[in-house]
Amino acid sequence: MKHETENNKHEEHGEHDEHHDHHKMMVEDFKKRFIFSLILMVPILVLSPMIQMFIGINLRFSGDSYLLFALSTILYFYGGKPFLKGAIGELKKKSPAMMTLIAMAISVAYIYSSLTVFVLKGNDFFWELATLIVIMLLGHWIEMRSVMGASKALDELVKLMPEIAHKITENGDTEDVPVKNLETDDKVLIKPGEKIPIDGTVFEGNSSVNESMITGESVPVDKGENDGIIGGSINGEGILKFKVTKVGDETFLSQVIKLVRDAQASKSNTQRLADRAAKWLFYIASISGLLTFTVWTILGKGLDFSIERAVTVIIISCPHALGLAIPLVTAVSTSIGAKKGLLIRNRTAFENARKINTIVFDKTGTLTKGEFGITDIQEVSVSKEELLKLAYSVELNSEHPIAKGIVNEGNKKNLKSLEVKDYQNITGKGLKAIVDDKNIMVVSPGYMESEKIEFDETDYEKLSQQGKTVVFVLQDSKLLGYIALSDIVREEAKEAIKTLKEMNVASIMLTGDNKRVAAYIGEKVGMDKVIAEILPAEKAKKISELQAEGRFVGMTGDGINDAPSLAAADLGIAIGAGTDVAIETADVILVRSNPNDVVNILKLSKATYRKMIQNLAWATGYNVIALPLAAGVLYNQGIVISPALGAVLMSLSTIIVAINARLIKIV
């Protein structure tokens, strides 16, 4: 079973690496095909009788049509291959879209033009075939270059686990073994600062464990005998010995991997705007072409004429501008996003962000900085300055997150450390040292209660209700004062929530942290709703419940525990300072870790959508006039659209969409 699990992990690794490499190869492939097709297009245009007539030159020679056919055949099969393959895929799914429309247009142009060389009388469309393939390849290359590669979330999750564990042998010695070789009930040693390699239960030792990236709990959790520990969390300053309780697919991290995989697989396969437009154009082109051919055949105009009119209608229905209408907007919006610190990974999810009416925020590291800062200093028998200086001097020796909060405050105030001797860490209770020949302790509320040292319990309870962590400073068991700390709220968070409310977007906090901390932070930033003490599996479930209510949900987070919900949300937004797992699972990354950028995503998505609609209107709008004329509606009045006029109209619409795409602005 264990070997099978390992094999599955390696298979998953391979699949995701292969998917990521495949994306790079596709970008490179489109680039090569575009450059080759562009070079080939030049002689095709020069040899085309239609182009020669249009620019008033004559370069005709014996056999030129056969050379034109040969060059166009190479271009059709080499340059058109991605579209022909894509069309087959779309038709297998019974969902014709952009690839099917392009494939139909180039195939009709190629087949008809080939027939004019060998069988039919009429003008060839080889020049149309060449320009269409080149512009469509350019559009797809631009778009693929402007977005990042495939998600490697599962790879990143696997990387989180250490590969080696300190296994305790039967005689009490330790030996380093691969984590994959550990079995249930094996005993393992964890040294200070090490990452816990696998799930287990402590049987000896005391320490504090940082589980924030796993569970969302901002305060390190004290661990002692019989306490459970999670693989991937980070040990504090103590030494722990534990028994392995779960291996393989049963471990916490394996369960998170399964949740991410399931969420990614079930994420709705929304069609992009360009595909929806192409789908309708495909049907319009097919029906119009067939109708044109049928009507002119019935009217007795002859096979050559009927086919030429039908072919002209089908080719005109796939305007060149459509190939650039969306990719140019995509490239410009991606560039604007990058300048504002928004890295767009999933274009479909980003384009649909305009529909979002609910943003769900993780707390730790997203609305807060994920680091402790001092909020209150309450002196009892010394001044505030003296109290902070004593705590600062002792905590300088500790790596605990609370210690770092006190040290950071001391550094801001440019405090100078007092002389410290005999520093000791009392695991789970605090620190003690001799500071300037005084016995100083910085301890937890638990120590105060166990030693029955009196303090203002009303004030302590008030601070505790606000989700703050309180440490007490003692001298020879006499209380000098106490310091309250909490996870620092990002100032930008308040502004972001306020703006979202003005946009009629609901804001919900979803956190693994305790209810008191969550309620305090939620009230401080102005959240509409707070849901606390939620496990990763429950987070993804809550997202699904919100979606079931008809909400279009964006999820913002930074931790491993957020990965399943980021994958499940309609738009997953990762804070750039977060874990690789969250970043790789998300659709958009906020490089600056600024919650205000969530607002910018929604605004950019709406602006992008507006430009796409405008460009599609420009790209296809001329069809309203060109299609009936190409079909020959006014033929008896002597008005019929010539391929040359069609080319001018296409060029004009292409220029318009290119200029329009550059005008995207975030309002």
Element (H, E) at 281: helix 273-298
Alpha carbon 375 to its chain's center = 34
Handedness of CA 505, 506, 511, 514 (dihedral sign): positive
DSSP-derived secondary structure for 580-600: HHHHHH-SEEETT--THHHHH
d(CA 427, CA 238): 7
Q: Six-digit token pair at 401? A: 């997150």
d(CA 614, CA 660): 8
Q: Are 330 and 146 in contact (CB under 8 A)?
A: yes
Q: Are 409 and 492 in contact (CB under 8 A)?
A: no
* DSSP symbol at 364: I
Three-state DSSP state, 622: coil
Q: Are 14 and 258 in contact (CB under 8 A)?
A: no
Of residues 581, 525, 538, the one with CA closest to residue 557: 581
Check if 249 is active-site: no
Point out which residues pair with 571 in neighbouring strands. Answer: 554
Handedness of CA 514, 212, 522, 570 (dihedral sign): negative
* DSSP symbol at 91: H
Element (H, E) at 45: helix 2-47
Count the helices and strands in the chain (H runs, E runs). Answer: 25, 22
Q: What are phi and psi of 327, to 5 degrees?
A: -55, -40
Q: How far apart are the first and last CA of the chain?
A: 56
Written as one letter, the residue type at 473 is V
d(CA 121, CA 139): 34
Of residues 38, 100, 95, the one with CA closest to residue 71: 38
Of 275, 362, 487, 587, the catalytic one is 362
Mapped to the 3 state alphabet, what secondary structure does 287-336 carry?
Answer: HHHHHHHHHHHHCCCCHHHHHHHHHHHHHHHCCHHHHHHHHHHHHHHHHH
Residue 324, sorted as left (phi over 0), alpha (psi -120 to 50) or beta, turns out to be alpha
User: What burial class does residue 189 get, using C-beta atoms within 10 Å of its C-beta: 0-12 exposed, 13-18 middle, 19+ buried?
Assistant: middle
Number of residues that this document lists for the chain: 667
d(CA 611, CA 661): 6
Q: In what order do the strands lie in the sheet with 200-204?
A: 174-178, 164-168, 187-190, 240-244, 200-204, 228-229
Q: Six-digit token pair at 202? A: 């402590």
Three-state DSSP state, 51: helix
Residue 48 has a CB neighbour count (10 Å cut-off) of 25
Element (H, E) at 208: strand 207-210
Residues annotated catalytic, as ranges: 362
